[in-house]
Amino acid sequence: MSSKAMNMVQALNSTLDFRMSQDDSILLLGEDIGKDGGVFRVTDGLQAKYGEERVIDTPLVELGIIGMAIGMASYGLKPVAEIQFQDFIYTAMDQIINQMAKLRYRTAGEITAPVVVRTPYGGGIRGGLYHSQSGESYFVHTAGLVVLTPSNPYDAKGLLSSAIDSPDPVIFLEPKKLYRAGRFEVPEEDFKVPVGKAAKVHEGDDVTIITYGSMVPTVMKTVTNNNINADVLDLRTLVPMDIVAISESVMKTGRVVIVHEAPRTLGLGAEISALISERMIEYLYAPILRVTGPDTPFPYKHEEYYLPNEKRVMAAVQKVLDYR
């Protein structure tokens, strides 16, 4: 396969472009995604290529975007909706929780809503309270949704392709801080990163660090700079979670640190920690530690204190390594 250096924005764009060229049931809808190409330019050039009917500049109404996408999906189309910032999705939560996530269940599989909802999440761009949130727990907590988040251009391209083929509604969380965080060689052709499979992005025996999305580069930097002998798991799929990868690694290392940007209380780290404790506590040598955002709204001026960084990740790793 020929490859090309792409950042995450270009990788996502290339998947949308290729898949739309193959299948006229795929439609995009969202705010400013057409002429403007999206505020982060993920859909740049697609309206010019596929027309206003397929790349729809919608009025400013998140619940309408999601609601429409559900109706489209029930009638054979494959809508890929963009919510401009994950922080803006909440007016659509009724549509997501009570319609999108429950349609298959309440119709015993006869009517489904295989919508892809793409939305940038997370901090690191000085976005303050309303352009920085990590709300993955809301979606993970709702039965009936698949939740994906890539951490690099390769996974972004392959996971989005899998999301488009998913028979289930997918919340596709794009770590906006990583949109342009460097170019990586990515195959030009369409390929898929499977749903439900974590990636082991670093191999080691002493500690398992479980992370995903925007925090993967932070963890990798910590591991590399400090020569930590760690297994690093990039979950990629938050629902359904890859318990096999987690179990194998934890049973090997017996020490676990979970890193995410979302606030700690009832963040995904709590669930992962519970899953590990319930099924393999006899393998653990140390308490499971979490490195997360604090339980505050996401601040504007002090985002560097909010976001987990090398120092905080290293401190937690050191603590579980030293635990006797």
Partner 1 sequence: MVEELNEQAQREKYVRGFGAMVLSRTLDKKIITAQRQGRVGFYTPSMGQEATQVGASMALSKQDIIYEYYRDVALMIHRGVPIDVLVDQVLGNSSDLSKGRQMPSHFMAKKYNFMSIQSPVATNLPLAVGAAYAVKYRKTDQIVLATFGDGSSSTPDFHAAMNLAAVFNLPIVFLCENNGWAISLPVEKQTKTEIWKKADAYGMRGVKVDGNDFIETFKVMGEAVQNARSGNGPTLVEAVSYRMGPHSTSDDTTKYRTDEVQEGSEKDPIIIAGNMLKEMGFLNDSVINRIREESVRIVDQKFEEREKIPPPEPESMFRDVLAEMTWILEEQMGDIL
Tell me how far the alpha carbon of residue 196 is from its chain's centroid.
12
Q: Does 274 bind partner 1 (CB under 8 A)?
A: no
Residue 281 binding partner 1, by CB under 8 A: no
| Per-residue tokens: 73 | 């999906």
Closer to partner 1 at the Cβ: 22 or 109?
109
Query: Cα-atom radius of gyration of the chain, to the nearest Å?
Result: 19
What is the C-alpha separation between 90 and 76, in angstroms, rounded?
A: 26
Query: CA 111, 89, 122 angle in degrees (round to 5)?
Result: 120
* Interaction between residue 167 and partner 1 (CB under 8 A): yes
Rule CB under 8 A: say whether 68 interacts with partner 1.
Answer: yes
131 labelled catalytic: yes
Judged by CB under 8 A, the residue of 2, 76, 301, 324 near partner 1 is 76
**Position 71 contacts partner 1 (CB under 8 A):** yes
The residues pairing with 4 across neighbouring beta strands, listed in sequence order, are 186
Q: Which is nearer to partner 1, 155 or 168 (CB)?
A: 168
Q: Is 64 in the site for partner 1 (CB under 8 A)?
A: yes
- Residue among 131, 141, 202, 302 flagged as catalytic: 131
- 106 contacts partner 1 (rule: CB under 8 A): yes
**Least Å distance between CB 177 and partner 1?**
29
- Judged by CB under 8 A, does residue 67 bind partner 1? yes
Question: Is 276 among the residues that bind partner 1 (CB under 8 A)?
Answer: no
Per CB under 8 A, does 108 bind partner 1?
yes
| Binding flag, residue 299, partner 1 (CB under 8 A) | no
Nearer to partner 1, 66 or 89 (CB): 66
Contact between 239 and partner 1 (CB under 8 A)? yes
Q: Of 144 and 187, which CB lies nearer to partner 1 in the complex structure?
A: 144
Q: Rule CB under 8 A: choose which of 55, 104, 138, 230 binds partner 1.
A: 104
CA distance 178 to 297: 21
By DSSP bridging, strand 184-187 and strand 3-6 are: antiparallel
Choice from 23, 36, 94, 203 touching partner 1 (CB under 8 A): 94
- Among 5, 111, 274, 315, interactor with partner 1 by CB under 8 A: 111
- Map tokens 């951490």 to a residue: 151
- For partner 1, which is the closer residue by CB, 73 or 173? 73
Asked whether position 157 contacts partner 1 by CB under 8 A, the answer is: no
Question: What are the start-end ranges of the H helices in 75-132?
Answer: 93-94, 103-106
Q: Which of 182, 240, 287, 294 binds partner 1 (CB under 8 A)?
A: 240
Binding characters for partner 1, 130-149, by CB under 8 A (x = yes) = -------------xx-x---
Q: Which residues are catalytic?
A: 131
Q: Which residue ranges make up the site for partner 1 (CB under 8 A)? A: 27, 53, 58-59, 61, 63-64, 66-77, 79, 91, 94-95, 98-99, 102-112, 143-144, 146, 166-168, 239-241, 243
